[in-house]
């Protein structure tokens, strides 16, 4: 069978699709320059395992697949993470852990590959010279070794690369590294002006022309190697309709202070639509992110227009490309 690597597939929002991005703590051993964690908004608590189990029950569905992504900060700093993953798997979740590669508390040795669908590592450069100024000195070598150790133990491994003005020119070097390591999935992310990035926004965002010149071609190179690659749609074509995931899918971004957002762009602001109170998921009253999801504007995503307007290009007063929902992905 001939595989077409020229045309990426847009992953449409599926009815009943459910993703839970669960930040079980906000602590981290690194200080990445683009970290989106905002302790003032997200808290600085490390949830105990009993609380985590109780909160997981709020999102578990017996007859419906739910993807659970366990996050931090650095989630492997939680001493009970291996037990949390095992419990989540028994509850029916498809499990992923996003790590910076340091893999604290002997996480690899304590976690059987059968209970963890993917272990995802973050690198923001193909070499230490590119990655470490963004993520910290020595991080590249530690992360690469973590990938090798995970694969040697039979874990399925994915990698995340957050594209910004600091590293997009080196993205084309990533396919060779992915192939060398044996990574099975590659996620290209786009920088968001949240957390630390919002404090130093100059030069971080990538304009439309640069994005289209670089990202799709790199994605094709990765796919040709037999590695699944996913990246955000970002810009819509003229004939493509804007849809907000907040209206047609279920995405929950859970933080240890009990805030639950449905849109990640909103996370720096106290406009979360849901919250966990006494181990119950409740809907908040008043002005929340939910009220923005139904607005229809020429620019596409309302939250992008409000919070990251530099992404939008105009010509003669008209929008050149609508901005897609940040949860809309393309895949090869």
For 272-287, the pLDDT digits (tens) are 999 999 999 999 999 9
Quote the CA–CA distance of 330 and 119 in Å, as a whole number. 21
Least confident of 121-125, 208-212, 220-224: 208-212
Give the model's pLDDT for residue 1: 42
For 137-170, the pLDDT digits (tens) are 999 999 999 999 999 999 999 999 999 999 999 9
The contacts found for 182-185 with CB under 8 angstroms, 24 or more apart, are: 182/151, 182/157, 183/147, 183/157, 183/158, 183/159, 183/227, 184/118, 184/156, 184/157, 184/158, 184/227, 184/228, 185/118, 185/120, 185/156, 185/157, 185/158, 185/159, 185/227, 185/228, 185/229, 185/230
pLDDT for residue 130 is more than 80: yes
Average pLDDT over all residues of the chain:
91
pTM of the model: 0.93
Q: Mean pLDDT across the stretch 97-113?
A: 97
Q: How would CATH label the architecture of 14-331?
A: Alpha-Beta Barrel (3.20)
Question: What percent of the chain lies above the pLDDT cut of 70?
Answer: 92
């Amino acid at each position: 069978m001939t595989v077409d690597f020229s045309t990426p597939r847009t992953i449409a929002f599926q009815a009943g699709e459910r993703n839970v991005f669960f930040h079980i703590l906000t602590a981290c051993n690194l200080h990445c320059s683009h970290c989106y964690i905002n302790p003032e908004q997200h808290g600085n608590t490390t949830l105990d395992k009993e609380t985590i189990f109780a909160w997981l029950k709020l999102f578990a569905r017996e007859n419906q697949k739910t993807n659970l992504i366990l996050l931090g900060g650095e989630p492997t700093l939680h001493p009970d993470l291996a037990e949390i993953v095992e419990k989540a798997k028994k509850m029916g979740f498809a499990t992923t852990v996003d790590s910076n590669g340091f893999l604290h508390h002997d996480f690899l040795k304590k976690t059987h590959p059968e209970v963890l669908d993917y272990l995802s590592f973050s690198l923001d450069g193909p070499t230490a010279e590119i990655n470490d100024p963004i993520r910290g000195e020595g991080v590249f070598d530690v992360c690469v070794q973590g990938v090798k150790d995970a694969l040697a133990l039979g874990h399925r491994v994915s990698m995340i690369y957050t594209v910004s003005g600091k590293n997009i020119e080196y993205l084309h070097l990533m396919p060779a590294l992915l192939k060398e390591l044996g990574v099975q999935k590659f996620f290209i992310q786009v920088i968001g002006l949240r957390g630390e990035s919002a404090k130093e926004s100059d030069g971080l965002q990538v304009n439309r022309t640069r994005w289209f010149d670089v990202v799709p071609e790199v994605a094709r190179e990765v796919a040709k190697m037999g590695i699944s690659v996913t990246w955000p749609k970002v810009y819509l074509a003229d004939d493509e309709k804007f849809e907000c995931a907040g209206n047609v899918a279920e995405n929950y971004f859970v933080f240890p202070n009990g805030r639950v957002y449905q849109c990640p762009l909103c996370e720096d602001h106290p406009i979360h639509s849901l919250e966990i109170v006494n181990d119950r998921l409740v809907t908040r009253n008043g002005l929340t992110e939910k009220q923005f999801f139904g607005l229809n504007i020429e620019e596409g995503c309302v939250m992008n227009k409000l919070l990251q307007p530099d992404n939008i290009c105009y010509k003669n007063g008209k929008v050149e490309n609508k901005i897609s929902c940040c949860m809309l992905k393309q895949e090869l």
